[in-house]
Structure 1
């Protein structure tokens, strides 16, 4: 059975990113990651994500991603409601035909 590891707490990620951003010249990300018990690729991902969140790099922020997800959910619901109304209108127009 494969288990997915729990994500690190937000405060921990923020602390690690802060340390990595303020590292001494010549200090390797690899060493910082090892000091915190995470992989270098994990730290690199956190730094990239933080750059997007802080507006340093372009990309979709967490807030924008959540808003987009909610908008897509709302669109699906509206499309379903529209389909129900379309079918109801078709049914009612058939019921009102002469000779029925």
Structure 2
């Protein structure tokens, strides 16, 4: 275990700029794909991205109120995009069904 401890202490964690972290969080929230897939595409550990999302989603005294509101808006935007996609699919199904039944009546 001494070798393991000394090896671990030599490894430095990657340090990402705050801009990269914030843009990664924004992408993960706005994207329709999973957070794990987004992290893979960005070349970062999924747990790291989850941590960033938690960190940037929490209100912070050092950050302006507008930033916190923006993050909540991103969550809302992601939810609405998914709902919009689902509703479009339902609408298309109903259009096809209405067309089918209209032909049956004639």
So what's the TM-score if we normalise by structure 1? 0.49
Identify which of structures 1 and 2 has the higher relative contact order when contacts are C-alpha pairs closer than 8 Å and 6+ apart: 2
